Chains A and B, each alone.
Chain A
């Protein structure tokens, strides 16, 4: 019995230590995800600013065109002047929407990157848990493989149950917003 309990217990401690390491790494990954979102937001704002500049530029060009038309006694709202303005609007709108797309892309990209980090964190935790479970199972099976006099003892099933119970004590699903990073 001791040949099963002792290795399983030690493997459980080892798994707990591994999970603590994984938690730290997962916390890093969570923070990195948050940072990525912030960076994406920043980049999106840059695109937004660029879009404002595009709009400003378009309005300024259109105003110039109207002013020039007015100065030249040209009807600013018809003919070539109007066409020129429309063309300005077209170019400006195209450029503005490009900035809007850039903003969207950057935001989405950042979000995706953040999600990747979170998935990594989750994977790290899962790996640590699995490793802990497998370590305890291996220890248990190793202990069972040692065997003993036929006076009763742990079966592979009971070992697995014991290992699972141990892991659940450290476990949970990673949640950067939850206290301790897990829920």
Chain B
């Protein structure tokens, strides 16, 4: 039955396996797509941070440098001075600021310390401070700054100390060198001073030179406590001093100076010996020269010097020096005599003029005063005047008056002739006065005429020039020079009475004219350089010769060219 009934036969439908889809891989792939963007953004973040860090380093350094505390702020600070230092150790900016501030502080401290060190050096030099004190004060400066820095940054303090220690050592070294140099200089100065005093003496302290002392003392003989005689000759004394000078000279660096003192010493020795001998000779030249030649000298000091301490060369030089001294003495005496005579002549001339003036004016007091001067300066003339004045007034000799009139008419009247006639009693006082006035006026006229003559000779008009040319200005200068000389002669009481102003002027003018005519080399060179310019102005080729230029210049009617180049052409004419 079971076989007969139909049963459901399953078709074999099965549950299919669900295919696997990897959604995770997809998601991860999508996530991976974002990764590069994220990495890029991270890099940008890092880059930004790095840039900000660099910026912070710079800004921090600037901030630190700008806000670094000063030494005064640190000194005034109460409590922890660390707080005054900008920045910190936690941020880049802070570290940079702190570093810069410390650097700035260190620099400022270093500058201040160096300044104090320089002041110390200056003070040390001024006060001549010893090295130990200098070291102590130098260390005090460095320690002061270092201790301040130590509280803030030991590392900076250490660095500062190292730097300043070098500065301090250099300063100490310099000061030590300076001290040594000073000592050396002082020693050298002392030695040089000693040499100077030995050679030249010290007038302010009344110390004579060694040479003078030795020569004035001469050889000395002393006896010691045991009665032994010790004789020291001049030569030995000189050698001793010379050796001392040499020893002093060794210790100074200025060898030339030391050598100079030695040479001066030798020269002074020779000079002193020569002077000693010359003085001896001048005391009695004939006798003493003879004594020196024979060696038989009575003066013991000269005997010692001449016989025992001078060699032949020195003796020969000393004799020559003595002769020179004799000659100089003679010349000096002659000169003094000449001067005395000249002075007397001057006094006499002046007194003579004053007497004549007094006679003319009738001033007897002045006349007597002038006579007393004339008595000393020219006794014979004094005698003549005295006699004439005592004689009193006389009548004029007609012949003498005629001669005087003739001389006046001839413009040859001289006051000396009038005076001599008066002294001879040929004319009275009134006539004397009249003709003296006439002679004086004539003299003034001669001088005046001489001035006019000078102008004439040098090509100048008697009237003043308004716009003088170069040559005229030159001539004016020459005339002025002659006139100055002429006036000096006129008012010089020693000028002889027969002095002829006209002759004087002519002589001077002719000499100056000769000099003026000669163009200087410089003027000729300048004129030659102007030749092309003159040639062009005259319408010639610039290389035209002098003769062509001179011919054209002579024929030109252009006043401007003539005025401009006249002097130059004159010089060229002289040169050619």
Given B22, B28, B38, which contacts A18 in the complex, CB threshold below 8 Å?
A: B38
Do the beta carbons of B56 and A14 come within 8 Å of each other?
A: no
A78-86, A91-99, A140-148, A165-173 - interface stretch:
A140-148
Do the beta carbons of A28 and B90 come within 8 Å of each other?
A: no
Do the beta carbons of B94 and A147 come within 8 Å of each other?
A: yes
Which residues of chain B come closer than 8 Å to A10, judged between CB atoms?
A: 41, 44-45, 48
Do the beta carbons of A3 and B56 come within 8 Å of each other?
A: yes
B25 at the interface (CB under 8 A from A): yes
A 1-43 to B, binary, CB cutoff 8 A, 1 in contact else 0? 0110011001101100110111011111111100100110010
A44, chain B: closest CB distance, angstroms: 9
Residue of B nearest to A20 (CB): B34
Do the beta carbons of B56 and A42 come within 8 Å of each other?
A: no
A124 vs B10: C-alpha distance when bound (angstroms): 48
Residue of A nearest to B36 (CB): A17
Contact count band on A? 35 or more
Do the beta carbons of B30 and A7 come within 8 Å of each other?
A: no
Which residues of chain B come closer than 8 Å to A63, judged between CB atoms?
A: 2
B153, chain A: closest CB distance, angstroms: 19
Which residues of chain B come closer than 8 Å to A120, judged between CB atoms?
A: 24
Do the beta carbons of A7 and B45 come within 8 Å of each other?
A: yes
Which residues of chain B come closer than 8 Å to A150, judged between CB atoms?
A: 86
Do the beta carbons of B38 and A14 come within 8 Å of each other?
A: yes
Residue of A nearest to B52 (CB): A3
A90, chain B: closest CB distance, angstroms: 23
A109 at the interface (CB under 8 A from B): no
A23, chain B: closest CB distance, angstroms: 8
A45 vs B13: C-alpha distance when bound (angstroms): 12
Do the beta carbons of B34 and A17 come within 8 Å of each other?
A: yes
Which residues of chain B come closer than 8 Å to A144, judged between CB atoms?
A: 91
A 129-147 to B, binary, CB cutoff 8 A, 1 in contact else 0? 0000001000100111111
Residue of B nearest to A66 (CB): B2
Which residues of chain A come closer than 8 Å to B27, judged between CB atoms?
A: 24-29, 31-32
A14 vs B34: C-alpha distance when bound (angstroms): 9
A46 at the interface (CB under 8 A from B): yes
Given contacts A25-B31, A28-B26, 11 further A-B contacts (CB under 8 A): A3-B55, A6-B52, A28-B25, A30-B23, A31-B23, A32-B21, A32-B24, A38-B18, A42-B18, A56-B10, A147-B88
Count how many pairs of residues, one from A and one from B, have CB atoms less than 8 Å apart in the complex. 131
Do the beta carbons of B52 and A7 come within 8 Å of each other?
A: yes
Which residues of chain A come closer than 8 Å to B45, judged between CB atoms?
A: 7, 10-11, 14, 135, 139
A120 vs B31: C-alpha distance when bound (angstroms): 14
A17 vs B42: C-alpha distance when bound (angstroms): 11
Which residues of chain A come closer than 8 Å to B44, judged between CB atoms?
A: 10
Do the beta carbons of B35 and A149 come within 8 Å of each other?
A: no
A49 vs B12: C-alpha distance when bound (angstroms): 10
A147 vs B97: C-alpha distance when bound (angstroms): 10
Do the beta carbons of A143 and B28 come within 8 Å of each other?
A: no
Residue of B nearest to A4 (CB): B52
Q: Which of A21, A145, A146 has the most CB of B within 10 A?
A: A146
B464 at the interface (CB under 8 A from A): no
A64, chain B: closest CB distance, angstroms: 8
B28, chain A: closest CB distance, angstroms: 5
Residue of B nearest to A26 (CB): B27
Within 8 A of A (CB), among B27-75: 27-28, 30-35, 37-38, 41-42, 44-45, 48-49, 52-53, 55-56, 59-60, 63
Do the beta carbons of A21 and B32 come within 8 Å of each other?
A: yes
Do the beta carbons of A25 and B28 come within 8 Å of each other?
A: yes
Do the beta carbons of B34 and A18 come within 8 Å of each other?
A: yes
